[in-house]
């Protein structure tokens, strides 16, 4: 085999590799390294390994202060309110900032619907129905009548699995007072005897004064399973 020439380590290094900056008149030629090249390559030449930059820890990430956006950047505007035991939020793009008053008006409508539909408001239309409808026919407004018609159709389509007259069962299990418990079989049977949409009579639903009457005492309506979705549908309709 041919002998390979060995480098002569005794020969002085060129000025451009000595670590001294080249003179202004001296410019690196092709194949030569500048002082800046040597500075960047020094760690690897000396056997020093550069570790990649470390990622921020979870704590650093969560506690970081966000940078300020430039005035022209896009951003989200969130208009929200607590109602019906949950958070309702309308999200607008920054270009739709002029619609913030409309978003607030929509949330006002949700507040109005809660006042009308909640069993936890003594002055609501539903609470009034629960107090009076077993004794007399109670006049309700057109929107509430339409909602009750939808509930009746859902009860029929699901074979009674969806039933807004289940309030006695909710009370029996402690759900209304947020005090859950396991009732006795006798208490469950007693509550079930008071449940059934077939005992809710809707009359005059095609006229200007629809009425609701319960055919037996103990019936109570609770729109908790449909009220939030109904409110969202109403707000979406109004915003369009």
Please write the tens of the pLDDT for every residue from 142-201: 999 999 999 999 999 999 999 999 989 988 998 877 788 899 999 999 999 999 999 999
* pLDDT tens column, 10-31: 444 444 344 444 445 544 444 5
Tell me, what's the pLDDT at 179?
A: 82
**What is the structure's pLDDT at 20?**
45
Neighbours of 177 (CB within 10 A): 9
Residue-level pLDDT at 3: 52
Dihedral sign of CA atoms 153, 158, 159, 164 in order: negative
Q: What is the pLDDT of residue 240?
A: 82
pLDDT for position 9: 44
Does the pTM exceed 0.85? no
Q: What is the pLDDT of residue 206?
A: 79
Measured CA to CA, the distance from residue 112 to residue 231 in angstroms comes to 10
Q: Report how far residue 87's alpha carbon sits from residue 4's, in angstroms, rounded to the nearest whole number.
A: 79
What does R_g of the chain's alpha carbons equal in angstroms? Answer: 38
What's the average model confidence in pLDDT over 52-80?
A: 66
Tell me the torsion sign for CA atoms 51, 52, 55, 56.
positive
User: Which uninterrupted H or E stretch holds 78?
Assistant: strand 76-83
Q: Smallest Cα–Cα separation from 222: which of 170, 177, 173?
A: 170
For residues 227 and 233, what is the distance between their CA atoms, to the nearest angstrom? 10
Rounding to the nearest 10 degrees, give the CA dihedral for residues 138, 142, 147, 149.
70
Q: How far apart are CA 194 and CA 163, in angstroms?
A: 12
CA–CA gap between residue 187 and residue 168 (Å, rounded)? 10
Average pLDDT of every residue of the chain: 80
């Amino acid at each position: 085999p041919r002998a390979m020439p060995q480098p002569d380590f005794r020969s002085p290094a060129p000025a451009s590799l000595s670590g001294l900056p080249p003179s202004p008149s001296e410019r690196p030629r092709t194949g030569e390294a500048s002082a800046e090249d040597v500075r960047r390559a020094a760690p690897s030449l000396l056997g020093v390994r550069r570790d990649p930059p470390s990622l921020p820890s979870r704590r650093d990430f969560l506690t970081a202060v966000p940078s300020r956006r430039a005035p022209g950047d896009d951003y989200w505007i969130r208009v929200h309110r607590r109602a019906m035991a949950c958070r309702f939020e309308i999200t607008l793009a920054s270009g739709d900032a002029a619609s913030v008053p409309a978003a607030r008006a929509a949330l006002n409508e949700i507040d109005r619907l809660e006042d009308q539909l909640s069993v936890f408001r003594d002055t609501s239309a539903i609470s009034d129905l629960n107090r009076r409808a077993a004794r007399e026919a109670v006049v309700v407004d057109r929107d509430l009548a339409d909602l009750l018609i939808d509930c009746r159709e859902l009860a029929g389509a699901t074979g009674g699995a969806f039933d807004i007259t289940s309030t006695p069962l909710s009370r029996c299990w402690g759900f209304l007072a947020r005090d859950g418990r396991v009732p006795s079989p006798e208490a469950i049977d007693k509550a079930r005897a008071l449940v059934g949409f077939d005992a809710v009579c809707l009359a005059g639903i095609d006229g200007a004064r629809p009425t609701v009457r319960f055919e037996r005492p103990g019936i109570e309506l609770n729109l908790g399973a449909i009220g939030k979705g109904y409110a969202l549908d109403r707000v979406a309709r109004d915003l369009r």
